[in-house]
Chain A
Amino acid sequence: MSLVFLIFLPLLAALFVPLLFKKFGKIHTGWFVLVVPVILFIYYVSLLPTTVTGGTLVSEFQWIPSLDISFVSYIDGLSLLFTLLITGIGALVVLYSIFYLDKHREQLHNFYVYLLMFMTAMLGIVQSDHLITLYLFWELTSISSFLLIGYWYTRDRSRFGALKSMMITVFGGLMMLGGFILLSIMGDTYSIRELIPQATELVTHDFFIWALVLVLFGAFTKSAQFPFYIWLPDAMEAPTPVSAYLHSATMVKAGLYLVARLTPIFAISGTWMWLVAGVGLFTMFWGSFFALKQKDLKGILAFSTVSQLGLIMSLLGASAAGYHIDNIAETTFKYAGFAAIFHLINHAVFKGSLFMIAGIVDHETGTRDIRKLGGLMSLMPISFTVAMIGAFSMAGLPPFGGFLSKEMFLTAMLSLMEFDLFSMDVWGILFPIVAWLGSVFTFIYSFYFVFHTFAGKHQPEELPKPAHEAPLGMLISPVFMSLLVIVIFFIPNLVGDWLVKPAVLAMQPFLYNSPDDIKIHVEAWHGFKPEFFMTLGIFGIGFLLFWTLRKWQKSYDRFPDTLNALYNNIVFLSDTGANRFSGIYMTGFIRSYLVYMFSFVIFIVIGTLFLTDAFAIDLTNLAPVGFYEIVILIALVGSTLTILLSKSRLTGIIALGAVGYSVALFFVIFRAPDLALTQLVIETISVALFLLAFYHLPQISRKEERMRFKLGNALVAIGVGVMVTLVALASHSQKALPSISEFYKETVYSEAGGGNIVNVILVDYRGFDTLFEIAVLGIAGIGIITMIKLRLTKKEERHENK
């Protein structure tokens, strides 16, 4: 079976979802959908033996061969790990959603189409080896996430959240595309596999730092890092299965995947290490700090996701240290990469179960407001147990998976203090301190989440529905995940060998040759080391602060929500600001637009004349000045002045006629008899038409007044006149080639059999011009008749805005 086509299997299945929903409405559509991730999961598990020894699988499908664009499915430890998360948690989420979403009230065909579309997009991101198709799938996740967040599209908050996440992630996606294109220009290939061996040459390239920063924009927006995390809390308006799947386990990890995948290319640079580790760690602290401000269960989880993603991101950044250390296998620097991947698995498992519990609480009590909840422990014992396991794992308590990853996180952060490149020796001390602070807050909000929901006093009068335990089907997935949390604690090395080490190999291919080279043995107990005392501190201080939480939680009100305010202002400004800006110059007056056009033409033409030094006057080869010409010229200028200065419009029309007749006289003088004839006739008709239009002027505006002098208009007009004169002089003085008219003069009688050269040109040499000039005249005639005859508006006064 071709691996590339497996990526598209969910999308293919999505085509049949509406049919199944309409035809088999009695069975919940989710049961049919469930088959897809289960099959995929089982298939992908069968690939594990290949990657566990460091093997890879590649499958390619040409899409646009001429542009070297293809779908490439590249399976190694890292992509297989993500693939298993996507399909495995996908299956559990679909199972949960079957019981969460009502088959009669909800539009299930929409929901499952979006979800399957998202699954294809995620599989595509993690398996693509081609930068352009990776970007294609990346945007597909943005779009399907947008659709899923706005699933209840009749709610304002849903639409707002969907739009916000779309704006921010698509912004990042476009930046990332720029980075990808720079990468492909530098390396002359779109394939990530082929870029990795060139890493040492790429780092010296001028574009390198640009590509690095742009790619990080994409990763940070998608993975909700500071300051782009603001879309994630608003995305909590989505149905809970979506939050569990997209916004905890899969989509937000796409950015982490990207960073891990491109680590071998960028990690040599100190900028990369500082940005990824620094932003990640700051996000970890920031998210955990503000999680305690939230009153909504899913809001707490959203901030906790932000914080945990920051933690993993900082570990990915710290793993870059490995590229600058000799003999990494014997130092503590080796832990960072391993811890990142290990915690990524842990987080996907416990955060998925926590979201599902939040959904269950919402479903069974009707509210997610933590101030109304409390005392559900005895009413919902299974949910409580699952929530406790998940939250304790998140807080880093033994005997849960989170404990192990937190220990390794502290080890990795402590090791950064000893790193002496990129001025880490000065600032490195900050890393373990911030990490420790973040961990304390993580501990507090984990307890806050569980105990303020399930412990304390039960307030039945506050709840919209009487609380009771969820149906069994809804509990299967979270219970299964919480079992996994415990299992991971007891068999960490099995997980490490099968999943983590192959992924670390993909992330640090320069350091290890095979997964067996990674000598890390995860232990729950490793003696009285600094990590141990830090953990004790986290537990002690965290517990004390949690105990007194009610006393100091109110002080959070003092922190304003500046980042969201900033986002709202940017959106407001780009909307009304752009409107106002275009309102400034789009005045609706034709005069303004003409002034813009004329001044721009003057500017570029005169500018070009002088910049290219194109102006020249040649006084040879001029026709002599004659007496009659001067007289006619005076008549022409005089009548033009009359038009400008006359008070009456009638005088203006007659003066225009005078201009036309003097032009006809010019044609006589300059030996153009046909022109003179035509000009005389046409000028006569035109003047008659002008008089007709003048006669029908409405009475009110018949009041004659002289045109008022306006300096601005006059300047523009003089500019145009000067420009035309300069261009005419310059072009007449610099004729490059002789005229082709000699040919017409010589052959007019011998070839065309005519004596009037102008007429022969019009109907013989260049007859096409004449044909279409006749067409112009005909169209103008038809247009005039239509305008006069066709009166549609008389029937009713209508306007499109009414």
Chain B
Amino acid sequence: MEIIMSVAIGFLFMAAVYLMLSKSLIRIIIGTGLLSHGAHLLLLTMGGLGGNSPPVVADGVKISDYADPLPQALILTAIVISFAVTSFFLVLAYRSYQELGTDNMDLLRGTEDYE
């Protein structure tokens, strides 16, 4: 399963990078969203996908049967942080639409007399 997941994560990264290289601001943010999904899944996969029961103490479950809780805690923290950054980024994009009237990255190059 880990091998299939690795390939899928590679695919997510590929799509994310392709979107980040595009011209439209909103596609770039979609790309970052995909990139964080890929990173979270990578964390989970690298921790190992074994374990038969969720990491909540229950009677009659052997210690080795719990899924690894540490990657899950790390991913939870990462999800919240990426959410904070994404929402900030989105509002930034929204404000720049309002002020600058464009979402084309090719036009967002500083002012004309900058040279």
The interface residues of chain A lying within 8 Å CB-to-CB of B114 are 801
Within A733-790, which residues are at the interface with B (CB < 8 Å)? 739-742, 744-746, 748-749, 755-758, 761-762, 766, 769-770, 773, 776-777, 779-781, 783-784, 787-788
Q: Is A387's CB within 8 Å of the partner chain B?
A: no
Q: List 8 A-B contacts (CB under 8 A).
A: A588-B109, A625-B4, A630-B4, A682-B80, A690-B90, A718-B14, A756-B57, A783-B88
Whole-angstrom distance between the Cβ of A71 and the nearest chain B Cβ: 49
Q: Considering the complex, which residues of chain A in the window 132-179 have a beta carbon less than 8 Å from any beta carbon of chain B?
A: none
Q: Is the CB of A757 within 8 A of B69?
A: yes
Could you tell me if B12 and A799 are in contact, using CB atoms closer than 8 angstroms?
Answer: no
Q: Within 8 Å CB of B90, what residues of A?
A: 689-690, 692-693
Q: A724-B13, A732-B46, A744-B70 are in contact. Are A773 and B6 (CB under 8 A)?
A: no
* Interface size range of chain B in the complex: 35 or more
Which of B4, B105, B111, B113 touches A590 (beta carbons < 8 Å)?
B105
Contact A643:B80 (CB < 8 A) given known A672-B67, A673-B56, A725-B7: no
Interface residues of A in 588-604 (CB under 8 A from B): 588-591, 594-595, 598
**In the bound complex, do residue A713 and residue B37 qualify as a contact, i.e. CB atoms below 8 Å apart?**
no
Asked, given contacts A682-B79, A744-B69, A773-B77, whether A644 binds B55 with beta carbons under 8 Å apart, the answer is no
Partner of B94, one of A619, A692, A755: A692
A739 in contact with B13 (CB, 8 Å) = no
| Residue pair A693, B94 in contact (C-beta under 8 Å) | yes
Contact B21 A716 (CB under 8 A): yes
**Closest B residue to A666 using CB positions:** B41
Q: Return the chain B residue nearest A640 by Cβ.
A: B15
Partner of B19, one of A644, A670, A758: A644
A646-697 contacts to B, CB under 8 A, are: 649, 652-653, 656, 659-660, 663, 666-667, 670-675, 678-679, 682, 685-686, 689-690, 692-694, 696-697
B21 and A713 form a contact (CB under 8 A) = yes
Residues of B within 8 A of A673 (CB): 54, 56
Known contacts A678-B79, A685-B83, A744-B69; A659 and B34 CB within 8 A of each other: yes
Question: Is B1 a contact partner of A656 (Cβ separation < 8 A)?
Answer: no
Q: What residues on A are CB-neighbors of B80 within 8 Å?
A: 678, 682, 773, 776-777
Contacts of B101 in A (CB 8 A): 698, 700
Contact A595-B44, Cβ < 8 Å, known A660-B37, A693-B90: no
In the complex formed, the residue of A with least CB distance to B80 is A773
Contact present for B56 and A787 (CB under 8 Å): no
Closest residue of chain B to A698 (Cβ to Cβ) is: B101
Give the distance in Å from the alpha carbon of A717 to the alpha carbon of B31 in the complex. 11
Residues of B within 8 A of A (CB): 1-4, 6-15, 17-24, 26-27, 29-30, 33-34, 37-38, 40-42, 44-58, 63, 66-70, 72-73, 75-77, 79-81, 83-88, 90-95, 97-99, 101-106, 108-111, 113-114
Separation of A63 and B20 alpha carbons in the complex (Å): 56
Asked if A701 lies at the interface with its beta carbon under 8 angstroms from chain B, I say yes
Q: Closest 10 interchain pairs by CB?
A: A721-B14, A725-B10, A780-B84, A717-B18, A623-B49, A757-B69, A757-B55, A728-B6, A755-B57, A761-B73
The residue from A678, A690, A742, A801 contacting B63, defined by CB atoms under 8 A apart = A742
Partner of A746 from B38, B44, B63, B108 at Cβ < 8 Å: B63
What is the number of contacts between chain A and chain B, taking CB atoms within 8 Å? 272
By a CB distance below 8 angstroms, the chain B residues around A20 are none
Option from B55, B75, B88, B93 in Cβ contact (under 8 Å) with A745: B55
Of B24, B91, B92, B95, the most chain A CB neighbours within 10 A belong to B91
Nearest B residue to A636 via CB reads B8
The answer to whether B27 touches A728 (Cβ under 8 A) is: no
* A66 lies within 8 A of chain B by Cβ: no
> Please, how many angstroms separate the alpha-carbon atoms of A31 and B29 in the complex?
74
Whether B91 and A623, one on each chain, are in contact in the complex, defined by CB atoms closer than 8 angstroms, is no
Looking at A725, A769, A776, which has the most chain B CB atoms within 10 Å of its CB?
Answer: A725
| Residues B83 and A682 in contact, CB atoms below 8 Å apart | yes
Contacts of B44 in A (CB 8 A): 666-667, 670, 672, 675
Please tell me the size bucket of the interface on A.
35 or more
Instruction: Judge whether A643 and B19 touch: CB under 8 Å.
Output: yes
CB-nearest residue of chain A to B91? A784
CB-CB under 8 A from A777, the residues of chain B are 80-81, 83-84
Query: CA–CA, A697 to B97, complex, Å?
Result: 6
Nearest Cβ distance between residue B5 and chain A, in whole angstroms? 8
At the interface, yes or no: A707 with Cβ under 8 Å from chain B? Answer: yes
Query: Quick check: is A426 within 8 A (CB to CB) of the other chain?
Result: no
Contact of B9 among A641, A724, A779, A788 (CB under 8 A): A724
A399 to chain B, nearest CB (A): 68
Give, as a whole number of angstroms, the nearest-CB distance from B52 to chain A: 8
A696 to B100, CA, bound (A): 12
The interface residues of chain A lying within 8 Å CB-to-CB of B10 are 721-725, 728
Q: Is the CB of B70 within 8 A of A740?
A: yes
Interface centre among A598, A690, A802 (most CB of B within 10 A): A690
Q: Among the interface residues B14, B58, B66, which one has the most CB atoms of the partner chain A within 10 A?
A: B14
**Is the Cβ of A721 less than 8 Å from the Cβ of B11?**
yes
Asked if A693 and B63 make an inter-chain contact with CB atoms under 8 angstroms apart, the answer reads: no
By a CB distance below 8 angstroms, the chain B residues around A696 are: 94, 97-98
Please state if A671 and B67 are interface contacts (CB–CB under 8 Å).
yes
Bound Cα distance A69, B46 (Å): 54
Q: A696-734: contact bitstring with B at CB < 8 Å (1 yes, 0 no)?
A: 111011000001001001101110111111001101100
Contact, CB under 8 Å: A649 / B110:
no
- Quick check: is A793 within 8 A (CB to CB) of the other chain? yes
Report chain A residues within 8 Å CB of B63: 742, 745-746
Closest Cβ of chain A: how far from B111's Cβ, in Å? 6
Instruction: Please give, as numbers and ranges, the residues of chain B lying within 8 Å of A762 by CB-CB distance.
Output: 73, 76-77
- B92 nearest in chain A by CB position: A787
Chain A nearest Cβ from B57, distance in angstroms: 4
Partner of B22, one of A623, A713, A783: A713
Choice from B3, B30, B47, B76 contacting A622 with Cβ under 8 Å: B3
Known contacts being A624-B1, A660-B37, A673-B56, is A686 close to B86, with CB within 8 Å? yes
CA of A281 to CA of B73, assembled, Å? 79
Q: Chain B's nearest CB lies how many Å from the CB of A436?
A: 58
Chain B residues closer than 8 Å to A783, beta-carbon distance:
88
Minimum CB–CB distance from A785 to chain B (whole Å) comes to 9
In the assembled complex, A517 has its CB within 8 A of some CB on chain B:
no
Decide yes or no: A698 and B102 within 8 Å by CB, A623-B1, A692-B94, A714-B18 being known contacts: yes
Tell me whether A679 and B79 are in contact (CB under 8 A).
yes
Contact A674-B83, Cβ < 8 Å, known A623-B50, A728-B6: no
Is A629 in contact with chain B by the CB < 8 A criterion? yes
The reply to whether B2 and A644 form a contact with Cβ atoms under 8 Å apart is: no
The verdict on A686 contacting B1 (CB below 8 Å), with A671-B55, A748-B57 known, is no
B26: which A residues are within 8 A, CB to CB?
A: 649, 652-653, 690, 693-694, 697
